[in-house]
Amino acid sequence: MITCSAPGKVYLFGEHAVVYGESAICCAVELRTTVHVNKAEEVIIESVLGSTGLDFEIHPYVSHAIEKMRQFTDIEGVAIKVESELPVGSGLGSSAAVTIATIQALNYLYKCGLSLEDIAKTGHEIEKMVQGNASPTDTYVSTMGGVVMIPQRKKLQHLKCPIIIGNTNKFSSTKELVGSVAKLRSEFPSIIDPILANIGQMSILAEKYVNESDYRTIGRLMNVNHGLLDSIGVGSTELSALVYAARHSGAISAKITGAGGGGCMVALAEDDNAISIAKAIEEAGGEAIITKNTEEGVRLE
C-alpha cells in the first residue's frame, strides 16, 4: 500500500484576479488530505461521501485522476481511501489536495516516474475538467508547498506567523462565484478590470514584504484586498462578521480566502494572540482553525 498526503492552502492575495492572468500569492497550510492506494480486483473509492467505483458524480477528482493516470500506466483495479482534515467546498483547496495526493500515490504505486511539475500540471487539467475555469494555483501550491506566487511559479519566503482560518460553514461553489465575477466584468469592464488589475498589482508589491517577513505591511495590503473582493460581489454577511471580529481582536489582517460567498476567511496573527482571535471568530459564529504555513507539498507518508 502507498499513502500520500497533500496540503490545502489560503490565498494571501489574488483570488479571482488570478483567473484573468493576474498575480496571486498563495500559502500552503498544515491541513492535509491523505490518500491510501492499493492494487485491487476492481476500482473502489472510499471517502466520507461513501464507497463507489469509478464515479464522476460522487468522486469526480479521484475518478478523473485514475483515468488520467491510465495514460501513463495500466491500471485495472485499485482501492483508494481518502481521509481529509480539509472541509469540502470551503475555499481551502480540498479538491486540489485530493487530486494531487491521488496522482502522487498512483505515481508511486505504478512507478510512472512523473515529476512534481508533471503532477501539478495533471492536477490542473483535472480541476479544469471538473470545475470549468480553474486557475493552476490550488494544484500548484498543493504540489509544491510553501508560499508561491502564481502565474510566475515562484517560491517566496516561508511565513512564520500563526494563520487562523474562520469557516462560515456555508458551502461556496467556486464555479458559480467565478461565473458571477465574469458576469459583472462583462457588464462593467471599465470598472471591474481595473479592480482585478489592482489586486494583481498588490501581489506583485507584496512579494518584497513576504520575502522580508514584514507581516504588518503584508497585513495592511491583505485588508485592502478584502475590500476589493467585497467590491466584486464575493463577500457575505457571515464572512464580514468573521473578518471584523478577527480584526477587532488584534489580528494583523483578515480577509476572504478562496472563492468567497461562504467558505472561509483567513487572518494573520502575532505569536501571542492566535487563541484570542480564534475565540472571537467562534463568538461571531464561525469555526476557527489555528494553523501554519507548511513548506512541504505533496509527500509520501
b/e per residue 92-120 (b: at least 16 CB within 10 A): bbbbbbbbbbbbbbbbebbebebebeebb
Q: Which three cell numbers stand for residue 60?
A: 469526480
Q: Are 143 and 121 in contact (CB under 8 A)?
A: no
State the Cα–Cα distance between residues 170 and 82, nearest whole angstrom.
22
Find the Cα–Cα–Cα–Cα dihedral 98, 100, 104, 106, rounded to 10°. Answer: 50
Q: Which of residues 240-259 bind ligand MEV (CB under 6 A)?
A: 258-259
Please check whether residue 91 is in contact with residue 16, taking contact to mean a CB–CB distance below 8 angstroms. Answer: no
Q: Which region, judged by CB under 6 A, interacts with ligand MEV, from 77-85, 132-140, 183-191, 277-285?
A: 132-140
Closer CB to ligand MEV, residue 3 or residue 131?
131
Tell me, yes or no, if 138 is annotated catalytic: yes
Under the binding rule (CB under 6 A), the answer on residue 22 touching ligand MEV is no
Annotated catalytic residue: which of 55, 74, 118, 138? 138
Q: Candidates 13, 16, 22, 45: give the one binding ligand MEV (CB under 6 A).
A: 16
Give least dist CB 96 to ligand MEV, A.
Answer: 9
Q: 18, 202, 210, 228: which one contacts ligand MEV (CB under 6 A)?
A: 18
- The C-alpha cell of 54 is what? 469509478
Give me the amino acid identity at 136. P
Q: Report residue 244 as a C-alpha cell.
A: 471584523
Interface with ligand MEV (CB under 6 A), residue from 5, 99, 135, 293: 135
Length of the chain as a residue count = 301
Known binding residue 18? Answer is no
Binding residues: 87-97
Binding site for ligand MEV (CB under 6 A): 15-16, 18-19, 91, 134-135, 137-138, 174, 178, 258-259
